[in-house]
Amino acid sequence: MTEISNPDCLFCKIAAGTIPVKWLHEDGQILAFNDINPQAPVHVLLIPKQHFTSHAHTTAGDTAILGQLLATAREVAKAQGLANGYRLVINTGLDGGQTVEHLHVHLLGGRHLGWPPG
Task: Please name the amino acid found at residue 83.
Answer: A
Q: What is the DSSP string of 59-71?
A: -GGGHHHHHHHHH
Residue 19 CB, nearest approach to Zn ion (Å): 12
Q: What is the DSSP letter of 17?
A: T
Residues of the shown chain interacting with Zn ion in the complex, contacts defined by CB under 5 A: 6, 9, 11-12, 51, 102
Query: Which one, 40 or 82, has the nearer CB to ligand 5GP?
Result: 40
The answer to whether the beta carbons of residues 103 and 57 sit under 8 Å apart is yes
Task: Please name the amino acid found at residue 55.
Answer: H
Among Zn ion, ligand 5GP, none, what does residue 66 contact (CB within 5–8 Å per kind)?
none
Please give the positions annotated as active site: 104
Strand order in the sheet with 86-89: 23-26, 30-34, 42-48, 105-109, 86-89
Query: Which one, 21 or 65, has the nearer CB to ligand 5GP?
Result: 21
Q: Which of residues 36-65 bind ligand 5GP (CB under 6 A)?
A: 36-37, 45
User: In angstroms, rounded to a whole number, what is the distance separating the alpha carbons of residues 40 and 57?
Assistant: 28
Query: Quick one: which segment of 59-67, 74-82, 94-102, 108-116 binds ligand 5GP (CB under 6 A)?
Result: 94-102
Binding footprint of ligand 5GP on the chain (CB under 6 A):
10, 21, 33-37, 45, 91, 97-100
